[in-house]
Amino acid sequence: MIRKIIEKGDSILEKKCHAITKFDDKLHILLDDMGATLKSSGGVGLAAPQVGICRRVVVLHNEAEEKIELVNPEIVSSSGEQTGLEGCLSLPGYYGEITRPMQVRVKAQDRNGNWFEVEDTGLTARCFCHELAHLDGHMFDELCDKLYTLEEIQEMFESAAADGRAEAEAKREA
């Protein structure tokens, strides 16, 4: 079932989520619904509070488009640094430039309660940080100086591309 995605302004997005203690059909339904909701949204990750459930559950897709389910996740290590644009399904239409670790290792439980660790880099590492922050009541816009609309981002890219073309042409003429 596709669930409604909660948007910024709803107080559930500001709450610290509770740990999962029962690994039962109710959790499995939540994970399945979150997977379907994420797929239909076109997003990369989804945390339970974003569908109105104050529990420590995350579903995301890594860069290989494999689904990862994280129950009671915690970041156990991180390294490096990357800066890039981020958006959020709970703040549609807005993006911000955020610095996150380049590599992140997460310890979590699967849908049956078994502990495992997963490590990744790049966009997936960024997604781990972004989604786990939701579980503690935080959103990405707390970390950026300015929010941009999609139109503003497109204008920035077009301007940068035009500057690059002008620079290349000036080099050819020189």
Contact (Cβ atoms closer than 8 angstroms) between residue 78 and residue 99: no
Q: In this prediction, what percent of the chain has a pLDDT beyond 70?
A: 99
Same domain, residue pair 165 and 91: no
Same domain, residue pair 102 and 151: no
- Asked if the structure places residue 51 within a domain, the reply is yes
Catalytic residue among 66, 81, 131, 151: 131
H helix count then E strand count, the chain: 3, 8
Same domain, residue pair 36 and 101: yes
- Asked if the structure places residue 4 within a domain, the reply is no
Whole-model pTM over 0.75: yes
| Average pLDDT value for the chain | 95
- Asked if the structure places residue 1 within a domain, the reply is no
Query: How far are the Cα atoms of 37, 72, 132, 164 from residue 58, in angstroms, in the given order?
Result: 12, 8, 7, 40
Same domain, residue pair 64 and 26: yes
Same domain, residue pair 165 and 122: no
Contact (Cβ atoms closer than 8 angstroms) between residue 42 and residue 63: no
Same domain, residue pair 137 and 163: no
Same domain, residue pair 73 and 124: yes
- Asked if the structure places residue 2 within a domain, the reply is no
Contact (Cβ atoms closer than 8 angstroms) between residue 41 and residue 9: no
Residue with tokens 């999609």: 150
Q: In this prediction, what percent of the chain has a pLDDT beyond 90?
A: 87
Which tokens in the block code for residue 73?
């996740």
| Structural domain count, the chain | 2
Q: How far apart are CA 132 and CA 164, in angstroms?
A: 37
Same domain, residue pair 68 and 129: yes
What pLDDT digit, counting tens, does each position of 30-56 carry?
999 999 999 999 999 999 999 999 999
Would you call 131 a catalytic residue per the annotation? yes
- Name all contacts of 158-161 with Cβ < 8 Å and 24+ positions apart: none
pLDDT category at 167 given cuts 50, 70, 90 is confident
The per-residue b/e assignment along 32-43, b for 16 or more CB within 10 angstroms, e otherwise, is ebbbebbeeeeb
Same domain, residue pair 57 and 127: yes
Same domain, residue pair 139 and 160: no
Same domain, residue pair 163 and 131: no
Quote the domain boundaries for residue 85. 11-143
SS3 132: helix
- Asked if the structure places residue 120 within a domain, the reply is yes
Which tokens in the block code for residue 13?
């997005």
Contacts of 72 (CB under 8 A, 6+ apart): 19, 20, 56, 108, 109
- Of the chain, the end-to-end C-alpha distance in Å amounts to 61
